[in-house]
Amino acid sequence: MQTRTIGPFTVSAIGLGCMNLSHAYGVPPSPEQAERLLLAALDAGVTLFDTAALYGFGANEELVGRVLKAHRSRITLASKGGMAGVRGEDGVVRRVIDGRPEALRRNCEDSLRRLGTDVIDLYYLHRWHKEVPVEDSVGALSDLVRAGKVRTIGLSEVSAATIRKAHAVHPITAVQTEYSLWTRNPEIAVLEACRAIGAAFVAFSPLARAYLTDTLHDVATLDAKDIRRPMPRFAPQNYAANLQLLQPYVAFAREVGCTPAQLALAWLLHKAPHIVPIPGTTNLAHLQEDLDAAKVQLTPAQMAQAEALIGQHNVVGPRYAPQATGEVDTENFA
């Protein structure tokens, strides 16, 4: 496996996003299947594993901690706080964004316990809580670094201006945001901001939530609780239009000599050396397919053709519904 750098860590060029082993895309796999997937990734050379307090309301951290605890020295472990499940008076657990220092300290302690580790290598502010100055939230995370509970700090779904404010308080090691052929927002300013401060850019949903794998052809088949259902690009009419873009892209991947998923991941790896994609999967064959993307070589002309086939100029629908759009700080195209 090729490697890339995230702060002081040398990690596999392609990491593993662990969210869908517990959360988000319908019924998660069985614990046994999830364990096989995690161990297969480890055996294949993956060393960056990404989880969060939010995923499965703690269940994903418990899974990752239980399965990988014996291999802790071999991996770079990333998790996130500032957005977690909170049980209300009615007994229902709901997602809450809370970037107050006391909440972040509590989130971190809970994550350490669930992960079964003394320290988290890369701890992200999952969302900037806009009622709390980002300097205050990052200051609390820097306290966790000084306490030896966190090694480095990251941010998720923030703008270049917020990155600079945060970095002035404590060095930012990584910024995580959605980035793929069909979501180019980081190209507005965040990729350059990361490069300027020496931070890695960790690309989540690099396969466009399965769109770029050419395996999701009918959104009506999505589980009722699948998080893609309220996303505008997956609305039936919009998705039908987006599917029209996919077949020329699939044909182009065939010309390149790889699968559509591998083309999408190889495109990210070729965009800049500080980009680390973290695709997620529950399928062992898809895992190996994703990791083999690191072997795909693209010419500048092939990069340009991929970008012309699918991009901001022709994808139909914004990536988030209005509420979710209001919760993030990333720059948007006009």
Cα separation, 309 vs 245, in Å, equals 7
Number of CB atoms found within 10 A of residue 323's CB:
8
Q: Catalytic residues, which ones?
A: 55
Mean pLDDT of 170-186: 98
- Note the pLDDT of residue 295: 97
Who contacts 11 (Cβ-Cβ below 8 Å, separation ≥6)? 3, 4, 5, 47, 48, 76, 276
Q: Catalogue the E-assigned strands of the chain.
A: 3-6, 9-12, 16-17, 48-50, 76-81, 83-87, 93-97, 120-125, 150-156, 172-178, 200-204, 275-277
Convert the pLDDT of each residue in 20-79 to its tens digit: 999 899 899 999 999 999 999 999 999 999 999 999 999 999 999 999 999 999 999 999
Superfamily assignment of 3-207+261-296 in CATH? NADP-dependent oxidoreductase domain (3.20.20.100)
With cut-offs at 50, 70 and 90, classify the pLDDT of residue 89.
Answer: confident
Continuous H helices in 70-133: 101-115
DSSP-derived letter for residue 28 is: P
Domain ranges of the chain: 3-207+261-296
Mean pLDDT of 321-331: 95
- Note the pLDDT of residue 283: 96
Q: What is the pTM of this model?
A: 0.96
Burial of 194 (0-12, 13-18, 19+ CB in 10 A): buried
- Note the pLDDT of residue 183: 98
List the structure tokens of 315.
Answer: 């994808």
Asked if residue 87 has pLDDT above 90, the reply is: no
Asked if residue 1 has pLDDT above 90, the reply is: no
With cut-offs at 50, 70 and 90, classify the pLDDT of residue 285.
Answer: very high
Asked if residue 334 has pLDDT above 90, the reply is: no
